[in-house]
Amino acid sequence: MKRELPIAALRSACEYKELFDLSRISTMRVGGLARYFFKPVSKEELCRLLDILDEVGYPYKLIGGASNTLFCDDVYEGAVISTRGLGSISREGSSFLCEAGVSLASLLSYAAGCGYGGAEQLWHIPGTLGGAVAGNAGAHGLEVFDVLEGVYIRRGLDGRCVELSPELLEPSYRTTKIKCGADITVLGATVGLDFSNAEDILRQKRKFAQMRAKTQPIGEPSLGSVFKRSDGVSAAFYIDKLGLKGYRVGGAAISDKHAGFIVAERGASPKDVLRLIAIIKEKVHDAFGIGLECEIDIVGGADVLFDRTEK
Ligand SMILES: Cc1cc2nc3c(=O)[nH]c(=O)nc-3n(C[C@H](O)[C@H](O)[C@H](O)COP(=O)(O)OP(=O)(O)OC[C@H]3O[C@@H](n4cnc5c(N)ncnc54)[C@H](O)[C@@H]3O)c2cc1C
């Protein structure tokens, strides 16, 4: 049964847009429409909104920088909620208290300004702290959970907001309880950094930026690495071995620079991306017997997947 949104109650809770084009916020610049799009400006506003949606059982999807999420349906029949309006950062000694919508770059840049660093590996990961916590983002041997001291969450179960010790979110390689479907919203987190020298921080930041620029299609619309490593071997290794760099479906192509990235050209649709993902999985499975698992979060797209299994 189609659930209706309690518009009157929501109007007082948070501003919203209808039929919002999600390609506008995706780092891949693809996506369908969201039936409703909300951008709360405080934790209180976000929680009030979630309380209302939970009460009526209306579906919603949290989004930070949308740098790891692919919305596949023409219309997502629910509410997409951006945390980008939750952007405050403060400091208590070496601990940085951030709201979920703060980008990793803003957090690390703020901390560097206070003379703290040690997590420069994470600087160039696009997206928000909330998204990084949900997926345990990481790079160059450091994961976000390595520097987390606490996480402030709202539990969907009872709507309560509590501070958690990070390990309770069960982080492992590019995943947590949240990414595995637990009904938890990250409202904010505390990140612990080391007292550092400004020049060292800058040098490290530059080093990691150069490493990325050498190996990744920076500046092209993408969602980063599409697949997780499999038994420690990158998906790019298998895809490259099959000579698939440059292989395309519609406007979606496997990057010539990094076989684990799919880049979108003008006019690409999320379904092109999804079809390409399905083809890559099939080819890698047929050739190596490896079942690649997606690192990106795919929302919807059942029609494409169903279409393939029917053939
Ligand atoms: C060029 C490029 C390079 C990248 N390099 C890396 C890299 O080196 N390492 C890496 O790990 N990733 C990398 N990524 C992927 C991506 O940037 C990270 O996964 C990032 O942490 C996602 O953050 P986000 O805010 O964009 O998340 P989104 O895409 O907005 O969301 C991701 C998931 O988290 C959930 N979520 C978001 N916010 C919250 C919240 N507040 N509470 C609960 N759930 C939430 C969403 O529902 C979704 O399931 C890269 C992406 C690009 C485009």
For 242-276, write each residue's pLDDT tens digit.
999 999 999 999 999 999 999 999 999 999 999 99
Q: pTM of the entire structure?
A: 0.96
pLDDT recorded at residue 8: 75
Under a CB-based contact definition with an 8 Å cutoff, are residues 273 and 27 in contact? no
Contacts of 11 (CB under 8 A, 6+ apart): none
Under a CB-based contact definition with an 8 Å cutoff, are residues 170 and 176 in contact? yes
pLDDT recorded at residue 1: 56
Give per-residue pLDDT as tens, 215-229: 999 999 999 999 999
Distance 169 CA to ligand 1 centre (A): 16
Mean per-residue pLDDT of the chain: 94
Q: How is residue 133 written in tokens?
A: 């916590």
Distance 63 CA to ligand 1 centre (A): 9
Domains of the chain, each with CATH number or no CATH: 10-82 (3.30.43.10), 89-201 (3.30.465.10), 217-310 (3.90.78.10)
Annotation marks residue 225 as catalytic: yes
Q: SS3 of 60, please?
A: strand
At residue 96, does pLDDT exceed 80? Answer: yes
9 pLDDT band, cuts 50/70/90, is confident
How far does Cα 124 stand from its chain's mean position? Answer: 14
Q: Which residues line ligand 1 (CB under 6 A)?
A: 27, 61-69, 83, 100, 125-128, 130-132, 134-135, 137-139, 174, 178-179, 185-186, 216, 222-224, 297
pLDDT recorded at residue 223: 98
User: Quick one: which atom of ligand 1 is closest to the CA of 27?
Assistant: 53
Find the mean pLDDT for residues 144-172: 97
| Beta strands in 57-204, from DSSP E residues, in sequence order | 60-63, 69-71, 75-82, 89-92, 95-99, 116-117, 138-139, 142-143, 148-155, 161-164, 184-192, 194-195
Annotation marks residue 90 as catalytic: no
At residue 311, does pLDDT exceed 50? Answer: no
Best mutation site among 125, 136, 172 for ligand 1 pocket (most ligand atoms within 8 Å of CB): 125
Give per-residue pLDDT as tens, 35-73: 999 999 999 999 999 999 999 889 999 999 999 999 999
Under a CB-based contact definition with an 8 Å cutoff, are residues 272 and 245 in contact? no
Q: SS3 of 246, please?
A: coil
pLDDT recorded at residue 305: 65
For the chain, how big is the Rg over CA atoms in Å? 20
pLDDT recorded at residue 310: 41
Contacts of 214 (CB under 8 A, 6+ apart): none
